[in-house]
A and B are shown apart, each in its own frame.
Chain A
Amino acid sequence: MPSRLAQRRAGFREMTLSARYTELSLAAGLGEEVEAVWTSVSDRAASYRVLPDGRCDIILRFDAGQRPITGVTVVVTGPTTRFYDVPIEPGIGFVGLRLRPGWFETVLGFEPAELTNSNLIGAQAIAACPALKCLCAPARDQNELVTSLTAFVRKRAADGRLVLAPLSRSVIGAFHAAGGRLRISDVAQMHAVSARTLQRLVVKATGLTPKALAGILQFHRALRLLRDHRLSPADAAVEAGFSDQAHMSRVIRRMGGFSPARLPDVTLVSLDD
Protein backbone atom coordinates (compact mmCIF):
# COMPACT_ATOMS: atom_id res chain seq x y z
CA MET A 1 0.00 0.00 0.00
CA PRO A 2 2.57 2.59 0.93
CA SER A 3 3.18 2.93 -2.79
CA ARG A 4 0.11 5.15 -2.68
CA LEU A 5 1.99 7.24 -0.15
CA ALA A 6 4.51 8.28 -2.72
CA GLN A 7 6.60 10.71 -0.77
CA ARG A 8 6.46 11.87 2.74
CA ARG A 9 7.55 15.31 1.79
CA ALA A 10 9.49 16.97 -0.95
CA GLY A 11 11.31 20.24 -1.07
CA PHE A 12 13.67 22.11 -3.28
CA ARG A 13 17.15 22.78 -2.12
CA GLU A 14 19.73 23.73 -4.60
CA MET A 15 23.26 22.64 -4.00
CA THR A 16 26.50 22.46 -5.81
CA LEU A 17 27.80 19.05 -6.74
CA SER A 18 30.35 19.14 -3.95
CA ALA A 19 27.77 19.35 -1.20
CA ARG A 20 26.06 16.13 -0.31
CA TYR A 21 22.57 16.79 0.95
CA THR A 22 20.59 13.87 2.28
CA GLU A 23 17.21 13.64 3.91
CA LEU A 24 17.15 10.86 6.44
CA SER A 25 14.42 8.25 6.54
CA LEU A 26 13.39 8.52 10.13
CA ALA A 27 9.75 8.61 9.14
CA ALA A 28 8.51 6.22 11.76
CA GLY A 29 10.24 8.10 14.54
CA LEU A 30 9.29 11.62 13.50
CA GLY A 31 6.49 13.47 15.18
CA GLU A 32 4.04 15.64 13.27
CA GLU A 33 6.12 18.70 14.16
CA VAL A 34 9.00 17.49 11.98
CA GLU A 35 8.97 17.65 8.22
CA ALA A 36 12.43 16.30 7.56
CA VAL A 37 15.80 15.67 9.13
CA TRP A 38 18.71 16.26 6.79
CA THR A 39 22.47 16.19 6.70
CA SER A 40 24.94 17.90 4.42
CA VAL A 41 28.72 17.71 4.16
CA SER A 42 30.81 19.73 1.76
CA ASP A 43 34.18 18.52 0.52
CA ARG A 44 35.22 21.84 -0.94
CA ALA A 45 34.31 25.50 -0.75
CA ALA A 46 30.83 25.85 -2.14
CA SER A 47 27.79 27.98 -2.17
CA TYR A 48 24.44 26.60 -1.13
CA ARG A 49 21.30 28.31 -2.36
CA VAL A 50 18.30 28.20 -0.08
CA LEU A 51 15.00 28.84 -1.79
CA PRO A 52 12.08 30.25 0.16
CA ASP A 53 9.78 27.40 1.14
CA GLY A 54 7.82 28.80 4.09
CA ARG A 55 9.68 26.52 6.47
CA CYS A 56 12.11 27.07 9.34
CA ASP A 57 15.05 24.85 10.21
CA ILE A 58 17.15 24.21 13.30
CA ILE A 59 20.65 23.48 12.06
CA LEU A 60 23.77 22.18 13.81
CA ARG A 61 27.02 23.22 12.11
CA PHE A 62 30.24 21.37 12.91
CA ASP A 63 33.67 20.35 11.69
CA ALA A 64 32.98 17.09 9.85
CA GLY A 65 36.60 15.93 10.12
CA GLN A 66 36.64 15.90 13.89
CA ARG A 67 35.87 12.95 16.23
CA PRO A 68 34.39 13.42 18.70
CA ILE A 69 32.56 16.47 17.39
CA THR A 70 33.05 19.56 19.54
CA GLY A 71 32.29 23.20 18.92
CA VAL A 72 28.83 22.67 17.47
CA THR A 73 27.15 25.91 16.39
CA VAL A 74 23.37 26.00 16.44
CA VAL A 75 21.59 28.03 13.76
CA VAL A 76 17.88 28.84 13.55
CA THR A 77 16.68 29.94 10.14
CA GLY A 78 13.60 32.12 9.88
CA PRO A 79 10.98 32.07 7.15
CA THR A 80 12.28 33.67 3.96
CA THR A 81 10.53 35.36 1.07
CA ARG A 82 13.41 35.22 -1.41
CA PHE A 83 16.46 33.07 -2.10
CA TYR A 84 19.76 33.49 -0.32
CA ASP A 85 23.16 31.88 -0.77
CA VAL A 86 25.10 30.33 2.06
CA PRO A 87 28.85 30.08 1.57
CA ILE A 88 30.14 26.72 2.81
CA GLU A 89 33.73 26.04 3.76
CA PRO A 90 35.16 22.63 2.92
CA GLY A 91 34.83 20.02 5.64
CA ILE A 92 31.90 21.68 7.34
CA GLY A 93 29.03 19.39 8.19
CA PHE A 94 25.42 20.23 8.88
CA VAL A 95 22.61 18.35 10.57
CA GLY A 96 19.28 20.07 10.14
CA LEU A 97 15.70 19.57 11.12
CA ARG A 98 12.93 21.25 9.15
CA LEU A 99 9.90 22.13 11.25
CA ARG A 100 6.47 21.68 9.81
CA PRO A 101 4.81 25.04 9.19
CA GLY A 102 3.14 26.32 12.33
CA TRP A 103 5.37 24.53 14.87
CA PHE A 104 8.05 27.20 15.27
CA GLU A 105 6.71 28.88 18.40
CA THR A 106 5.80 25.57 20.07
CA VAL A 107 9.36 24.29 19.68
CA LEU A 108 11.40 27.49 20.06
CA GLY A 109 9.24 29.58 22.38
CA PHE A 110 9.12 32.75 20.32
CA GLU A 111 7.20 33.79 17.23
CA PRO A 112 8.73 33.18 13.80
CA ALA A 113 7.76 36.70 12.70
CA GLU A 114 10.71 37.93 14.77
CA LEU A 115 12.99 36.03 12.42
CA THR A 116 11.49 36.70 8.99
CA ASN A 117 14.26 36.87 6.39
CA SER A 118 16.97 36.38 8.98
CA ASN A 119 18.84 33.77 10.97
CA LEU A 120 20.07 33.38 14.51
CA ILE A 121 23.58 31.98 14.77
CA GLY A 122 25.32 30.56 17.84
CA ALA A 123 25.01 32.83 20.89
CA GLN A 124 22.12 34.76 19.29
CA ALA A 125 20.12 31.55 18.87
CA ILE A 126 20.83 30.46 22.45
CA ALA A 127 19.87 33.90 23.76
CA ALA A 128 16.52 33.60 21.96
CA CYS A 129 15.93 30.01 23.10
CA PRO A 130 18.27 29.03 25.96
CA ALA A 131 17.28 25.35 25.77
CA LEU A 132 19.15 25.11 22.44
CA LYS A 133 22.42 25.15 24.41
CA CYS A 134 22.16 21.41 25.08
CA LEU A 135 22.56 20.77 21.35
CA CYS A 136 26.10 22.18 21.46
CA ALA A 137 27.39 19.38 23.70
CA PRO A 138 30.20 17.24 22.22
CA ALA A 139 28.95 14.26 20.21
CA ARG A 140 30.61 11.04 19.10
CA ASP A 141 29.57 11.50 15.50
CA GLN A 142 26.98 12.93 13.15
CA ASN A 143 24.43 10.25 14.06
CA GLU A 144 24.50 11.32 17.68
CA LEU A 145 23.78 14.91 16.60
CA VAL A 146 20.80 13.65 14.59
CA THR A 147 19.53 11.74 17.62
CA SER A 148 19.91 14.65 20.03
CA LEU A 149 18.35 17.19 17.64
CA THR A 150 15.37 14.92 16.95
CA ALA A 151 14.89 14.17 20.65
CA PHE A 152 15.17 17.87 21.53
CA VAL A 153 12.43 18.86 19.08
CA ARG A 154 10.17 16.01 20.09
CA LYS A 155 10.47 16.89 23.76
CA ARG A 156 9.87 20.60 23.12
CA ALA A 157 6.81 19.81 21.02
CA ALA A 158 5.42 17.45 23.67
CA ASP A 159 6.07 19.87 26.56
CA GLY A 160 5.13 23.00 24.67
CA ARG A 161 2.31 25.07 26.03
CA LEU A 162 2.18 27.17 22.88
CA VAL A 163 0.34 24.56 20.88
CA LEU A 164 -0.92 25.55 17.47
CA ALA A 165 -4.67 26.24 17.62
CA PRO A 166 -6.79 23.87 15.51
CA LEU A 167 -8.08 26.83 13.48
CA SER A 168 -4.54 27.99 12.66
CA ARG A 169 -3.60 24.46 11.68
CA SER A 170 -6.66 24.22 9.45
CA VAL A 171 -5.95 27.58 7.78
CA ILE A 172 -2.30 26.76 7.11
CA GLY A 173 -3.30 23.32 5.83
CA ALA A 174 -5.73 24.91 3.38
CA PHE A 175 -3.03 27.28 2.03
CA HIS A 176 -0.62 24.40 1.52
CA ALA A 177 -3.20 22.07 -0.03
CA ALA A 178 -4.14 24.76 -2.54
CA GLY A 179 -0.53 25.42 -3.56
CA GLY A 180 -1.15 29.10 -2.87
CA ARG A 181 -3.89 29.24 -5.49
CA LEU A 182 -6.77 30.37 -3.29
CA ARG A 183 -7.43 34.04 -2.65
CA ILE A 184 -6.85 35.16 0.91
CA SER A 185 -10.53 36.14 1.12
CA ASP A 186 -11.52 32.62 0.00
CA VAL A 187 -9.46 30.96 2.70
CA ALA A 188 -10.95 33.35 5.27
CA GLN A 189 -14.45 32.58 4.02
CA MET A 190 -13.85 28.82 4.02
CA HIS A 191 -13.06 29.04 7.72
CA ALA A 192 -15.76 31.59 8.51
CA VAL A 193 -13.24 34.13 9.83
CA SER A 194 -12.46 37.69 8.77
CA ALA A 195 -9.48 38.48 6.54
CA ARG A 196 -7.97 40.33 9.50
CA THR A 197 -8.22 37.31 11.79
CA LEU A 198 -6.71 35.16 9.05
CA GLN A 199 -3.79 37.58 8.70
CA ARG A 200 -3.13 37.47 12.44
CA LEU A 201 -3.29 33.66 12.62
CA VAL A 202 -0.96 33.12 9.68
CA VAL A 203 1.65 35.68 10.75
CA LYS A 204 1.71 34.25 14.26
CA ALA A 205 2.10 30.66 13.06
CA THR A 206 4.46 31.08 10.11
CA GLY A 207 6.07 34.51 10.42
CA LEU A 208 4.79 35.31 6.93
CA THR A 209 1.77 37.29 5.78
CA PRO A 210 -0.91 35.16 4.06
CA LYS A 211 0.03 36.84 0.78
CA ALA A 212 3.72 36.01 1.19
CA LEU A 213 2.91 32.43 2.26
CA ALA A 214 0.62 31.90 -0.73
CA GLY A 215 3.26 33.40 -3.04
CA ILE A 216 5.95 31.03 -1.76
CA LEU A 217 3.70 28.00 -2.08
CA GLN A 218 2.78 28.99 -5.63
CA PHE A 219 6.45 29.50 -6.54
CA HIS A 220 7.39 26.18 -5.01
CA ARG A 221 4.64 24.34 -6.87
CA ALA A 222 5.56 26.00 -10.17
CA LEU A 223 9.09 24.63 -9.77
CA ARG A 224 7.73 21.16 -9.09
CA LEU A 225 5.46 21.32 -12.12
CA LEU A 226 8.41 22.31 -14.29
CA ARG A 227 11.00 19.96 -12.85
CA ASP A 228 9.10 17.01 -11.43
CA HIS A 229 5.96 16.90 -13.57
CA ARG A 230 7.92 18.08 -16.66
CA LEU A 231 5.17 20.45 -17.78
CA SER A 232 5.95 23.08 -20.41
CA PRO A 233 6.34 26.59 -18.95
CA ALA A 234 2.98 27.55 -20.49
CA ASP A 235 1.18 24.57 -18.93
CA ALA A 236 2.97 25.00 -15.60
CA ALA A 237 1.97 28.67 -15.44
CA VAL A 238 -1.70 27.82 -15.95
CA GLU A 239 -1.73 24.91 -13.49
CA ALA A 240 0.17 26.89 -10.84
CA GLY A 241 -2.38 29.68 -11.14
CA PHE A 242 -0.31 32.48 -12.70
CA SER A 243 -2.01 34.90 -15.04
CA ASP A 244 0.46 33.98 -17.78
CA GLN A 245 3.92 32.55 -18.41
CA ALA A 246 5.60 35.96 -18.09
CA HIS A 247 4.09 36.37 -14.64
CA MET A 248 5.45 32.98 -13.57
CA SER A 249 8.89 33.85 -14.97
CA ARG A 250 9.02 37.11 -13.02
CA VAL A 251 8.11 35.35 -9.78
CA ILE A 252 10.67 32.60 -10.30
CA ARG A 253 13.38 35.18 -11.05
CA ARG A 254 12.51 37.22 -7.99
CA MET A 255 12.13 34.36 -5.51
CA GLY A 256 14.65 31.89 -6.89
CA GLY A 257 17.14 34.11 -8.68
CA PHE A 258 17.00 32.13 -11.92
CA SER A 259 14.96 31.94 -15.09
CA PRO A 260 12.45 29.10 -15.65
CA ALA A 261 14.11 28.47 -19.00
CA ARG A 262 17.41 27.83 -17.25
CA LEU A 263 16.53 26.07 -14.05
CA PRO A 264 19.72 25.45 -12.14
CA ASP A 265 20.60 22.04 -10.85
CA VAL A 266 17.81 22.13 -8.33
CA THR A 267 17.60 18.81 -6.59
CA LEU A 268 14.19 17.62 -5.64
CA VAL A 269 14.87 15.98 -2.35
CA SER A 270 12.29 13.74 -0.84
CA LEU A 271 11.85 11.43 2.05
CA ASP A 272 10.37 8.13 0.97
CA ASP A 273 8.27 6.05 3.27
Chain B
Amino acid sequence: MAARLGYTILYVADVEATVAFYEAAFGLPRKFIHESNLYAEMDTGQTTLSFAGEPMAEMNGLAIRANRKTDVAAGFELALIFHDPEEAYLNAIAAGATPVKPPEHKPWGQIVGYVRDVNGCLVEIASAMPD
Protein backbone atom coordinates (compact mmCIF):
# COMPACT_ATOMS: atom_id res chain seq x y z
CA MET B 1 0.00 0.00 0.00
CA ALA B 2 2.10 2.87 -1.26
CA ALA B 3 1.13 6.45 -0.55
CA ARG B 4 1.47 9.29 -2.99
CA LEU B 5 2.37 12.80 -1.83
CA GLY B 6 -0.75 14.80 -2.60
CA TYR B 7 -0.60 18.11 -0.80
CA THR B 8 1.75 20.23 1.22
CA ILE B 9 -0.49 22.47 3.30
CA LEU B 10 0.84 25.40 5.27
CA TYR B 11 -1.34 26.92 7.98
CA VAL B 12 -1.10 30.67 7.67
CA ALA B 13 -2.62 33.69 9.36
CA ASP B 14 -3.76 35.29 6.08
CA VAL B 15 -4.43 32.98 3.12
CA GLU B 16 -5.10 35.75 0.60
CA ALA B 17 -1.94 37.68 1.49
CA THR B 18 0.13 34.50 1.34
CA VAL B 19 -1.18 33.60 -2.12
CA ALA B 20 -0.43 37.12 -3.38
CA PHE B 21 3.06 36.87 -1.92
CA TYR B 22 3.79 33.47 -3.50
CA GLU B 23 2.66 34.81 -6.86
CA ALA B 24 4.84 37.92 -6.64
CA ALA B 25 7.86 36.42 -4.92
CA PHE B 26 8.12 33.06 -6.69
CA GLY B 27 5.90 33.39 -9.75
CA LEU B 28 3.71 30.47 -8.70
CA PRO B 29 0.23 30.93 -10.15
CA ARG B 30 -2.82 30.44 -7.95
CA LYS B 31 -5.25 27.67 -8.76
CA PHE B 32 -8.05 29.04 -6.56
CA ILE B 33 -8.91 30.68 -3.26
CA HIS B 34 -12.03 29.46 -1.50
CA GLU B 35 -14.58 32.21 -0.89
CA SER B 36 -14.11 31.84 2.88
CA ASN B 37 -10.47 32.94 2.43
CA LEU B 38 -9.54 29.96 4.60
CA TYR B 39 -8.10 27.71 1.90
CA ALA B 40 -6.20 28.14 -1.36
CA GLU B 41 -4.23 26.00 -3.77
CA MET B 42 -1.34 27.05 -5.96
CA ASP B 43 -0.88 25.62 -9.45
CA THR B 44 2.15 23.44 -8.69
CA GLY B 45 1.50 20.39 -10.83
CA GLN B 46 1.03 16.87 -9.50
CA THR B 47 1.81 17.74 -5.89
CA THR B 48 -0.23 20.66 -4.68
CA LEU B 49 1.01 23.46 -2.46
CA SER B 50 -1.93 24.72 -0.42
CA PHE B 51 -2.49 27.33 2.25
CA ALA B 52 -5.06 26.90 5.01
CA GLY B 53 -6.13 29.65 7.39
CA GLU B 54 -5.19 29.10 11.02
CA PRO B 55 -8.86 28.84 12.07
CA MET B 56 -8.93 25.64 9.97
CA ALA B 57 -6.50 24.01 12.42
CA GLU B 58 -8.87 24.70 15.29
CA MET B 59 -11.90 23.59 13.26
CA ASN B 60 -10.22 20.30 12.48
CA GLY B 61 -9.29 19.72 16.13
CA LEU B 62 -5.58 20.12 15.45
CA ALA B 63 -3.12 22.10 17.53
CA ILE B 64 -0.21 23.74 15.76
CA ARG B 65 2.49 26.26 16.48
CA ALA B 66 1.57 29.13 14.19
CA ASN B 67 4.21 30.30 11.71
CA ARG B 68 5.37 33.83 12.48
CA LYS B 69 8.03 35.93 10.83
CA THR B 70 9.26 37.03 14.26
CA ASP B 71 9.62 33.43 15.52
CA VAL B 72 12.37 30.92 14.82
CA ALA B 73 11.47 29.02 11.62
CA ALA B 74 9.64 25.68 11.97
CA GLY B 75 11.55 22.50 11.16
CA PHE B 76 10.67 22.11 7.50
CA GLU B 77 11.28 23.90 4.20
CA LEU B 78 9.70 24.19 0.80
CA ALA B 79 12.19 23.75 -2.03
CA LEU B 80 11.27 25.57 -5.24
CA ILE B 81 13.14 24.97 -8.48
CA PHE B 82 14.07 27.90 -10.73
CA HIS B 83 15.94 28.22 -13.99
CA ASP B 84 17.90 31.14 -12.52
CA PRO B 85 18.08 30.94 -8.70
CA GLU B 86 20.12 34.15 -8.36
CA GLU B 87 17.48 36.18 -10.14
CA ALA B 88 14.70 34.33 -8.23
CA TYR B 89 16.37 35.12 -4.91
CA LEU B 90 16.51 38.86 -5.65
CA ASN B 91 12.96 38.86 -6.94
CA ALA B 92 11.69 37.09 -3.80
CA ILE B 93 13.38 39.63 -1.55
CA ALA B 94 12.02 42.51 -3.61
CA ALA B 95 8.53 41.02 -3.04
CA GLY B 96 8.94 40.90 0.73
CA ALA B 97 10.76 37.64 1.48
CA THR B 98 13.39 37.78 4.24
CA PRO B 99 16.91 36.94 3.04
CA VAL B 100 18.54 34.01 4.84
CA LYS B 101 21.30 32.77 2.54
CA PRO B 102 22.12 33.91 -1.01
CA PRO B 103 22.29 31.17 -3.64
CA GLU B 104 25.60 29.31 -3.84
CA HIS B 105 26.95 26.46 -5.95
CA LYS B 106 26.80 23.09 -4.24
CA PRO B 107 29.34 20.31 -4.89
CA TRP B 108 26.61 18.13 -6.40
CA GLY B 109 25.88 20.74 -9.06
CA GLN B 110 22.81 22.53 -7.71
CA ILE B 111 22.58 26.24 -6.91
CA VAL B 112 20.82 26.70 -3.56
CA GLY B 113 19.71 29.75 -1.55
CA TYR B 114 17.22 30.33 1.28
CA VAL B 115 14.65 32.95 2.18
CA ARG B 116 11.79 33.07 4.66
CA ASP B 117 8.31 33.78 3.33
CA VAL B 118 5.85 36.37 4.72
CA ASN B 119 4.84 33.90 7.43
CA GLY B 120 8.39 33.01 8.42
CA CYS B 121 8.46 29.61 6.68
CA LEU B 122 11.77 28.57 5.13
CA VAL B 123 11.80 28.46 1.34
CA GLU B 124 14.74 27.04 -0.57
CA ILE B 125 15.40 28.60 -3.95
CA ALA B 126 17.30 26.09 -6.05
CA SER B 127 18.18 25.08 -9.57
CA ALA B 128 17.15 21.65 -10.84
CA MET B 129 19.36 18.70 -9.97
CA PRO B 130 21.69 18.24 -12.95
CA ASP B 131 21.16 15.02 -14.91
Contact = CB atoms under 8 A, between A and B. Distances in A.
Do these two chains really belong together in a complex? yes
Contacts of B50: 4
| Among B32, B41, B66, B68, residue most surrounded by chain A Cβ atoms (within 10 Å) | B66
A177 B36 contact: no
A240 B58 CA distance: 12
Contacts of A174: 54, 65-66, 68
A228 B61 contact: yes
B63 A7 contact: no
Given A5-B36, A28-B35, A189-B71, A173 B63 contact: no
B57 interface: yes
Contacts of A181: 63
A224 interface: yes
B56 interface: yes
| Among A9, A177, A181, residue most surrounded by chain B Cβ atoms (within 10 Å) | A177
Query: What is the interface of chain B mostly: helix, strand, loop, or mixed?
Result: loop
Contacts of B13: 169-170, 173
A28 B66 CA distance: 26
Contacts of B71: 189-191
A244 B78 CA distance: 36
A77 B106 CA distance: 60
A2 interface: yes
A192 B70 contact: yes
A173 B66 contact: yes
Contacts of B65: 174, 177-178, 182, 186, 190
Given A179-B58, A192-B70, A4 B11 contact: no
| Among B34, B56, B58, residue most surrounded by chain A Cβ atoms (within 10 Å) | B58
B22 interface: no
Ranked 9 nearest A-B pairs via Cβ: A179-B63, A190-B71, A192-B70, A174-B66, A177-B54, A177-B66, A224-B61, A190-B68, A177-B57
Interface of B: 11, 13, 32, 34-39, 41, 50, 54-66, 68, 70-71
